[in-house]
Amino acid sequence: MDEIYTPDEVAKLFKISKHTVYELIKRGELRAFKVGNKMRIEQNEVNRYKQQMETTPASRPSAAHSIRLAGSHDFLIEHLVKYAARQTEGLSIQPTYVGSLEGLMMLYRNNCDAAAIHLLDPSSKEYNIPFIKQLFVHEPLTVMRFASREQGLIVAKGNPKNINSLHDLTREDVVFVNRQKGSGTRYLIDYFLAEEGINPQAINGYKNEEWTHFATAALVNGGKADTTFGIQSATENLQLDFIPIVKEPFDLVFRWTKQNKPALKQLIDMLTHTAFKDSIGNKAGYDVSESGTIIYEHK
């Protein structure tokens, strides 16, 4: 009889996080079944995925025009992927939305070529660079400002629950939906809750987690939650209102290797080109005035 694995065991086999395993299952890249409310993966499926990792470009060092990008979900990243496929010759970007922290860890383990991150360090009040300096000591890196974006509370149109601050999340009549642990947005909301002296356990729905900004906004739009913490652009095309709380930087981290150097150069050329900057300049909730600026390098 074939062995049956838990997501934790699969994570250890492939040296990835448990959250990445769940994301693979969610996207249909790794087939699983339920025993009660627990996910399980069969031996033959583990073998199939292992073989796929060994033979597909997404798991090998990048080909000349293929870039594996992991990290935070953002609508500008989705736009970047589509723009590269449409406007550049032979450049392919393969995104994996696993959250900022896991994206940076995948870059550290050399499981991707670039990471999209927005991680606030509570001690220094600085974004991204403290985490990068802790992890990468000898590796050649380039960090580019992709955009700055508004984060805040997303509520139903007209704000029927009259939610105006984070303290309103503790009200009995308010249902919250959260982002997953390891995401930059989760880091941010937890930081603000601590600063305001708010106990997360007092928030109805704090443990309810989703993996993308659109997923949380969709729950508010559908009436299954009253509010979430997310980016302003998630309200676009939905009947939702937005209460801004903070403007944060959103950066791209490139780790250079001999294999990915041509592709990364092509990507950076595209990101700094006027045509691409113009294509993202009218997106609600974003400030792209520093887009393409190199903010840190280690050679």
Q: What is the pLDDT of residues 160-204, one digit of tens each?
A: 999 999 999 999 999 999 999 999 999 999 999 999 999 999 999
Mean pLDDT score, 128-143: 96
Of the candidates 109, 116, 158, 162, the one whose C-alpha atom is nearest the C-alpha of residue 136 is: 109
Confidence of residue 125 (pLDDT cuts 50, 70, 90): very high
Of the candidates 36, 41, 38, the one whose C-alpha atom is nearest the C-alpha of residue 10 is: 41
pLDDT exceeds 50 at position 62: no
What are the DSSP calls for 110-148, one per residue? TS-SEEEE--EETTTTEESHHHHHHH-SSS-EEEEEEEE
234-238: which pairs have CB atoms within 8 A and are 24 or more residues apart? 234/75, 234/154, 235/154, 235/285, 236/75, 236/284, 236/285
The two structure tokens encoding residue 3: 């062995």
- Chain position carrying tokens 């496929």: 85
Query: What is the spatial distance between Cα 29 and Cα 22, in angstroms, rounded to a whole number?
Result: 10
Counting every residue written for the chain, the total comes to 299
Q: DSSP state, 232?
A: G
Confidence of residue 121 (pLDDT cuts 50, 70, 90): very high
- Cβ atoms within 10 Å, residue 86: 7
Question: Percent of the chain, pLDDT > 90?
Answer: 68
pLDDT of residue 55: 58
Reported as a single tens digit per residue, the pLDDT across 194-240 is 999 999 999 999 999 998 898 899 999 999 999 999 999 999 888 89
Reported as a single tens digit per residue, the pLDDT across 13-61 is 887 777 778 877 876 778 888 777 788 888 888 888 777 766 554 444 3
3-state secondary structure 11-38: HHHHCCCHHHHHHHHHCCCCCCEEECCE
pLDDT exceeds 70 at position 63: no
**Three-state DSSP class for 260?**
coil
The residue among 177 and 87 whose pLDDT is bigger is 177
Question: At CA 163, angle to CA 157 and CA 167, rounded to 5?
Answer: 155
Confidence of residue 288 (pLDDT cuts 50, 70, 90): very high
Question: Percent of the chain, pLDDT > 70?
Answer: 94
Confidence of residue 88 (pLDDT cuts 50, 70, 90): confident
What's the mean per-residue pLDDT of the chain? Answer: 90
In this structure, the strands spanning 227-231 and 176-179 are: parallel
Confidence of residue 65 (pLDDT cuts 50, 70, 90): low
- Whether 266 and 92 have beta carbons less than 8 Å apart is answered as no
The two structure tokens encoding residue 56: 């597909």
Query: What is the spatial distance between Cα 156 and Cα 97, in angstroms, rounded to a whole number?
Result: 26
